[in-house]
Amino acid sequence: MRRIMILGCGGMLGDAVYNHFVITDVVDATDIVLSSPWVHYQDVRDFKNLMERAAYFEPTVIINLAAITDMERCELDPEEAVMTNTRGSLNCCLLAKKFNIPYVYISTAGIFDGEKEYYSDDDQPNPLSVYSRTKYLGELVATKYEKHYVIRCGWSMGGYEKDKKFIHLIFDQIKNGAKELNVVDDKAGTPTYTVDFANGIDALLKSGKYGVYNQVCKGSCTRFDVAEEFVRLLGVDVKVNRVDSSFWQQRFFAPRPKSEKLLTNKLNHLGLNAMRDWKKCLAEYAEGWKCRLPMK
């Protein structure tokens, strides 16, 4: 039985990862935000306390989900972003090295510049924002350790109340009575369902194939495509309007690549791709949102 230490487990991905591993493994789930009864306090920036906790728990795997993912917050406070996204990765990596155990670091499609339409596992990153630069540096730190799994996700969806991403933003507008949505159609990417992503982490751990992997749903789309499909699945009478990124520039001012489409070549080659088509995953996810709609 594995002893899995999960850092940053209080968010939307943390829910899926915890729910997957707790069935078969001993899990120590931690975060600086105590968002669930099973989450205990631990700051990845505090190496001394991190080492003390690990010495007590004796992990056989470290999974680092801890990150500041709010891109605008990172632009406004780059030092905080570095400390969590990069220094946090270094601390977890040193911990894994100390115990001689695998280190799983979760990265992002945003580390690419969007000049190409698709990016493979081995393409050279060129991050545009503070967030993406600090995440890429976290990758580089992780890859210095032999027993690393760097796993990149795309546009995350999952977690319902803990979902702070695009789907929740769209749902909140609908719940509050919006009859029209203004959604950008000049940004493309690959959605990533947290449930499938957690399954993929486990598949990689069991394979023993260390390395850097893109892990996203099959298929690609624009933000407009996702919103239109989500509205259709909810069965609500809401119009989705196409706008370009300048429409939301004041609110979302951090630079974002035009394309964040990832290819999963390495996972496909190894027969380890646990990700389903994004529309199938969104349909599954939307079922849980339907019951959260106001009663008519």
pLDDT tens per residue, range 36-85: 999 999 999 999 999 999 999 999 999 999 999 999 999 999 999 999 99
What pTM was computed for the model? 0.94
Any domain includes 244: no
What's the CA gap between 108 and 205, in Å, rounded?
Answer: 19
In sign, the C-alpha dihedral spanning 238, 110, 274, 266 is: positive
Q: What pLDDT was estimated at residue 283?
A: 96
Confidence of residue 250 (pLDDT cuts 50, 70, 90): confident
Given a cut of 80, is residue 285 above it in pLDDT? yes
Query: Does residue 245 form part of some domain?
Result: no
Lowest mean pLDDT among 160-174, 192-206, 222-236, 254-268: 160-174
Q: What CATH code is carried by the domain that includes residue 95?
A: 3.40.50.720
Does the pLDDT at position 1 exceed 80? yes
Q: 142: exposed, middle or buried (C-beta count within 10 Å: 0-12, 13-18, 19+)?
A: buried
Please check whether residue 36 is in contact with residue 11, taking contact to mean a CB–CB distance below 8 angstroms: no
Q: Give Cβ neighbours of residue 87 (< 8 Å, ≥ 6 apart).
A: 44, 45
Written in H, E and C, the secondary structure of 89-108 is: HHHHHHHHHHHCCCEEEEEE
Supply the range of the domain harboring residue 48.
3-164+190-219+260-277
pLDDT at 291: 86
Residue 203 within a domain: yes
Residue 287 falls within a domain, yes or no?
no
Q: Is residue 18 part of a domain?
A: yes
Structure tokens at 138: 């976290």
pLDDT in tens, 151-210: 999 999 998 888 888 999 999 999 998 999 999 999 999 999 999 999 999 999 999 999
How many domains are contained in the chain? 1
The answer to whether residue 295 scores a pLDDT higher than 80 is: no
Query: Quick check: is 224 in a domain?
Result: no
| pLDDT, mean of residues 131-140 | 97
